[in-house]
């Protein structure tokens, strides 16, 4: 059993009870550890051919550090992942103001988002766990009673599939994602993730202001540092433009082609030592690339992380979508009678 079962439960969570942890394993020896607090992905260990068991997911080792870290490592974020400008949006002429928790904007659902909640464990087996959560009408200012489920499933082919579903009794924006940070050279390796190779199958990205709010118009990746259509190192064009300079790196969303083949990866990440490759498959319309620009001081399992210690590939709707119905993606508003249903897979080859 993973040592996290001991260290993460030595102290109670915010509700005074210890966290519940679940370990998934497959036939090839991949191990994934999950936690009910935040429906969090805590660990992902791969058995390399050289005999190394490589931890590729950034994370903490104690509940105190989990509550102290502000980088959303491995958690399920919502109701609305990413940012909503000034916490404002309207539905059918009715104005809503939700909790603002970063630079006057709503980030990842507000001060007490889904990342802090204790989720219920509805099902579990050696290869899957199903979490559920109920967010009441008015939670962080969002309308509607929202019932949601997140399932993690580990396949024998080395794929971690995360499936999301949600129902509401009142129209509300919903945008769920996992905020895992990856370092395929090893989470505690001290290898700068900017030495990883990355490919993203996207022709457009979304320019933002200095606090991550979209400027409004999508932009082509042609001829600039946001062109990842051919594999390149994250370092190659790093800080090569004003958009990156104001964010201290990449912290931007990429919009996928709506006509794409969803059975094919939309992103591929390769470790510096070339021993691990991770492919991302999703039916979400976009993905936020975040190169861990502000990770310095974040607690790790062995001390603290530095900036650029890990990269997040967060599949989602575009940020501030509630205020941009003109963007070419499905509506981010979930209505009564409809179901929010999306999935993302992280496929590891090693």
Query: What residues are labeled active site?
Result: 179, 314
Alpha-helical (H) ranges within 15-116 are: 63-68
Task: Give kind and range of the element (H or E) at residue 96.
Answer: strand 94-97
Give the three-state DSSP class for 245.
helix
Instruction: Kindly tell me the burial class for residue 3, based on how many C-beta atoms sit within 10 Å of its own C-beta (0-12, 13-18, 19 or more).
Output: exposed
Q: Is the separation of the CB atoms in 26 and 156 below 8 Å? A: yes
Question: Which of 323, 291, 224, 255 lies closest to 71 in space, CA to CA?
Answer: 291
Strand order in the sheet with 232-233: 120-124, 128-135, 146-154, 159-168, 340-349, 277-282, 267-270, 197-200, 232-233
Count Cβ neighbours within 10 Å for each residue of 90-116 and write b for 16 or more, e otherwise. Answer: ebeeeebebbbbeeebbbbbbeebbbb
- Closest-CA residue to 80 (of 266, 316, 261, 290): 316
> Rounded distance, CA 63 to CA 158, Å?
28
3-class DSSP assignment, residue 285: coil
Beta carbons of 281 and 262 less than 8 angstroms apart = yes
Whether 77 contacts 114, CB under 8 Å: yes
| Nearest alpha carbon to residue 280 among 198, 176, 169, 172 | 198
Could you tell me where the beta strands, DSSP code E, fall in 181-328? Answer: 181-182, 197-200, 204-205, 219-220, 232-233, 251-255, 267-270, 277-282, 286-290, 311-316
């Amino acid at each position: 059993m993973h040592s996290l079962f001991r260290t993460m439960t030595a102290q109670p969570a915010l509700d005074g009870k210890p966290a519940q942890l679940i370990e998934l394993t497959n036939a090839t020896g991949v191990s994934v550890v999950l936690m009910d607090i935040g429906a969090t992905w805590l660990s992902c260990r791969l058995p390399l051919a050289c005999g190394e068991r490589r931890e590729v997911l950034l994370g903490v080792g104690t509940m105190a550090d989990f509550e102290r870290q502000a980088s959303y490592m491995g958690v399920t974020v919502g109701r609305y992942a990413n940012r909503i400008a000034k916490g404002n949006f309207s539905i059918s002429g009715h104005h809503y103001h939700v909790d603002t928790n970063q630079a006057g904007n709503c980030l990842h659902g507000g001060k007490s988002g889904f990342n802090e909640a204790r989720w219920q464990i509805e099902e579990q087996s050696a290869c899957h766990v199903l979490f559920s959560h109920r967010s009441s009408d008015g939670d962080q200012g969002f309308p509607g009673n929202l019932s949601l489920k997140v399932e993690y499933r580990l396949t024998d082919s080395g794929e971690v599939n995360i499936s999301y579903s949600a129902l509401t009794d009142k129209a509300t924006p919903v945008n769920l994602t996992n905020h895992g940070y990856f370092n395929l050279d090893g989470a505690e390796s001290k290898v700068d993730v900017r030495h990883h190779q990355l490919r993203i199958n996207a022709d457009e990205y979304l320019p933002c202001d200095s606090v991550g709010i979209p400027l409004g118009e999508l932009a082509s990746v042609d001829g600039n540092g946001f062109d990842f259509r051919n594999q390149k190192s994250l370092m190659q064009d790093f800080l090569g433009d004003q958009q990156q300079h104001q964010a201290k790196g990449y912290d931007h969303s990429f919009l996928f082609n709506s006509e794409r083949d969803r059975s094919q990866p939309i992103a591929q990440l390769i470790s510096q030592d070339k021993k691990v490759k991770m492919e991302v498959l999703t039916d979400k319309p976009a993905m936020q690339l975040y190169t861990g620009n502000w990770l310095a001081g974040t607690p790790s399992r062995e001390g603290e992380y530095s900036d650029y210690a890990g990269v997040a590939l967060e599949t989602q709707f575009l940020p501030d979508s509630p205020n941009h119905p003109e963007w070419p993606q499905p509506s981010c508003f979930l209505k009564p009678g409809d179901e929010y249903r999306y999935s993302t897979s992280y496929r590891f080859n090693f």
